[in-house]
Amino acid sequence: MSASVSGQIRRLTAIDLQKSHVLPAAAASVGTASINFETTTLGPAADDIEATISIDATPDLVDAKTIILTVEDSADDSSFAAIAGVGTLTVTGAGGVGASAASQRFKFPPATRQYVRVSAAVLTAGGSNIAKSFYLKVFPNS
């Protein structure tokens, strides 16, 4: 690992690397607060950073309705867009018991911009899971 990447990873360990938010009502979406990587893009440091997105069990998610978690980035901490190559995490209600807890681990691409967050979108008539949460956790590889 180069000295600049090593320094960048040390800075990341000093900032808040975990965010969470309660799920929105049906037919709505919401994002967590962002994590600031303190650099314009991750560049080569992306090789040394992983993340997990996760969601609590959602027992009130209506059959065949979904909640979609999307990892997003931004250059200005205001306008966010899905990060290409990261994908989404989708949970679907089934069997009258909603959906199980789920998680997905991934690496950020080098072009990931300075601010990252995860957003959750609940389909119309998806039920009320507003007491449940979703999470983003970023961690440097050792």
Q: At CA 21, angle to CA 98 and CA 27, rounded to 5?
A: 55
In 3-state terms the chain splits into helix, strand, coil percentages (rounded to 5) of 10, 45, 40
Question: For 46-67, what is each residue's pLDDT tens digit?
Answer: 888 899 999 999 999 999 999 9
pLDDT at 67: 98
Exposure string for 58-69, b = 16+ CB within 10 A, e = fewer: bebbbeebbbbb
| Residue 87 to residue 90: CA distance in whole angstroms | 10
Domains annotated on the chain, with CATH: 3-140 (2.60.120.1110)
Residue 116 has pLDDT above 60, yes or no: yes
* Predicted local confidence at residue 7, as pLDDT: 63
Give whole-number Cα distances, 128 to 8, 43, 62, in Å.
41, 40, 9
Reported as a single tens digit per residue, the pLDDT across 23-34 is: 999 999 999 999
pTM: 0.91
Quick one: pLDDT at residue 54?
98
Q: What is the pLDDT of residues 59-105, one digit of tens each?
A: 999 999 999 999 999 999 999 999 999 989 999 999 999 999 999 99
Give φ, ψ of 62 to 5 degrees: -65, 145
Look at residue 57 in the predicted model and tell me its pLDDT: 98
Q: What is the pLDDT of residue 9?
A: 61
